[in-house]
Amino acid sequence: MQFTGVLYWVPFFYVLIINIAAFLAMWRDKRKSSQREWRVAEVTLHILGFLGGAIGIIGGMFRFRHKTQKKSFQAIAILGLVVSLIIYWFVGTQYL
């Protein structure tokens, strides 16, 4: 099924928005961490990654040097990237 018009761009905007949200969540968590305040829950970061925002999570990890020493977080982030890539592939082949 081929989309035309506005619906054609919906998957692209979803991917863009979820990755920006994930990147900003990493920035906020790093900022809260350095100020010793309540932080963003790791489960929230993982959920964002598994919903398609793993590129934003991984980008935030390296841009802000945040959670780069925590191997368990890295492993789940990579698994989230695999899931995100599958989502991108599925959406790309089904709708674009």
Q: Any long-range contacts for 92-95 (C-beta under 8 Å, 24+ apart)?
A: 92/11, 94/1, 95/1, 95/3, 95/11
For residue 8, is it within any domain?
no
Count Cβ atoms below 10 Å from residue 16 Cβ, excluding itself. Answer: 13
For residue 54, is it within any domain?
yes
Is the model's pLDDT at 3 over the cut of 60? no
Number of domains comprising the chain: 1
Place of tokens 């599925």: 90
Q: Are 79 and 46 in contact (CB under 8 A)?
A: no
For residue 2, is it within any domain?
no
Give the per-residue pLDDT at 65.
Answer: 85
For residue 6, is it within any domain?
no
For residue 4, is it within any domain?
no
For residue 3, is it within any domain?
no
For residue 9, is it within any domain?
no
Give the per-residue pLDDT at 31.
Answer: 92
Report pTM: 0.83
**Residues of the domain holding 65:** 15-95
HEC states along 20-72?
Answer: HHHHHHHHHHHHHHHCCCCCCCHHHHHHHHHHHHHHHHHHHHHHCCCCCCCHH
pLDDT digits (tens, 9 = 90+) for 7-48: 677 788 888 999 999 999 999 999 998 898 998 999 999 999
